[in-house]
Amino acid sequence: MMKSYIRFVPNALSTGRIFLACIFPFSPESLWLWLVLGSGFSDVLDGWVARRWQVQSWQGGLLDAVADKLFILCALITFVSAGKFSGWWIPALLARDLLVAFTAIYALSIRSWESFKKMEARWSGKAATFGQFFLFLVVLLFPDGIWFALGCASLLSGVAAGDYGRLFLQELRLRAEEKASAP
């Protein structure tokens, strides 16, 4: 009985993160730290609850990823608009996210959505998300360390982009081999 209610918790937390993303740009700077902490905490908690109670689903994972990307994008745009750092950092900070979006579009265009769906969350993606949230905390709490945090977050995003790109290429090769060997 309890598990039937628990299965909604991870998705509710992800939905809450989407709400936080939507209000972030319109919130006073004095609330930004609390919004970042709330978003980061909900990201960790939704994954933990889903794994702990074995209520993971592909749709829930997608909702979690969309919530993460939306919050990160809203926070980055808000920080750039507030003059916290230059907008030219955004492509480097979002290298993984841009590659995954390109991969999804490409997979759809070649009718290989199943190949894209097999790209599960990876340690490199979690590290990139951690790097982005680390950057947000540095921007808000230790602005003198921003160059270090920008460099770390960009590096982690680049590593994750390479990892996900490699994984997708492997999946495409496997798919091509299966097609070639099919009667």
With beta carbons less than 8 A apart as the criterion, state whether 89 and 150 touch.
yes
Give long-range contacts, CB 8 A cutoff, 24+ apart: 107-114: 107/168, 112/172, 112/175
Which sign, positive or negative, has the C-alpha torsion 59, 128, 73, 52? positive
**Residue range 151-170, pLDDT digits in tens:** 999 999 999 999 988 988 88
The predicted pLDDT at position 2 comes to: 61
> Mean pLDDT, to the nearest integer, of 70-77?
97
Average pLDDT, the chain: 90
**Residue range 28-53, pLDDT digits in tens:** 999 999 999 999 999 999 989 988 88
**Residue range 103-152, pLDDT digits in tens:** 878 878 877 767 666 667 789 999 999 999 999 999 999 999 999 999 99
With beta carbons less than 8 A apart as the criterion, state whether 81 and 31 touch.
no
> Mean pLDDT, to the nearest integer, of 77-83?
97
Give me 177's structure tokens.
């081999």
With beta carbons less than 8 A apart as the criterion, state whether 10 and 49 touch.
yes
Q: Within the chain, where are the H helices?
A: 2-6, 9-23, 29-52, 58-81, 90-93, 95-109, 113-117, 123-141, 146-181
The predicted pLDDT at position 116 comes to: 66
The predicted pLDDT at position 1 comes to: 55
Give me 109's structure tokens.
């265009």
In the predicted structure, residue 68 carries a pLDDT above the cut 90: yes
pLDDT band at 12 (very low <50, low <70, confident <90, very high): very high
The CA distance from 92 to 32, in Å, is: 22
